[in-house]
Amino acid sequence: MPPGGTLHGVEPADAVRPPRVRLLTRAGCHLCEEARLVVAQVCAETGEAYEEVDLDAAAAADPALLRRYTDEVPVTFVDGAQHDYWRVDPARLRAALGRRARH
C-alpha cells in the first residue's frame, strides 16, 4: 500500500491480497467525497475491499503521481488499471468488478 493509503472492507484473511479497487483522493475535494460514497457502497454490495490513497501523501514517495493525477482527482482504479476520474458511475464500477478476474 502506498503512503497515505487506508484499506476499507478488509477481513484479516484478506489483508495479504491487495484490494481490487483503489481510490485516489485529496483533502478538501468535494468530488472525492462523492466518489468515496459510491465506491464504499459498490464495494460493500460486491464484497470487495477498497483502498483510499491521499494523492498528496503518496506523492511524497512518488512525485510522478502528483504530476499525472493532480487535475483528475478523484481517480478510481480497478485491478490496477485506471477506471474513472472525477465521477464514479456505480453501474460501471459494478460491471468492472463483475467482469475482471482477481489477480
Max Cα–Cα distance, the chain, nearest Å = 36
**Residue 45 to residue 40: CA distance in whole angstroms:** 9
Q: Please tell me which residue, 87 or 100, carries the higher pLDDT value.
A: 87
Residue 74 belongs to domain with CATH number:
3.40.30.10
The pLDDT of residue 18 is 86
State how far the alpha carbon of 47 is from the alpha carbons of 25, 86, 88, in Å: 22, 24, 18
Q: Is residue 47 part of a domain?
A: yes
Q: Average pLDDT for residues 44-55, to the nearest whole number?
A: 96
> Residue 88 domain-assigned?
yes
> Any idea what the Cα angle at residue 55 is, between residues 102 and 21, rounded to 5°?
15
Give yes or no for a cis peptide into 18 (omega within 30° of 0): no
Is the per-residue pLDDT at 57 higher than 60? yes
pTM of the entire predicted model: 0.81
Give the domain extent around 47: 20-60+68-99
Q: What is the mean pLDDT of the chain?
A: 88
Domain assignment present for residue 6? The answer is no
> Would 4 be classed as within a structural domain?
no
Q: What is the mean pLDDT of residues 35-58?
A: 97
State how many domains the chain has. 1
Is 3 a domain residue?
no
DSSP-derived letter for residue 69 is H
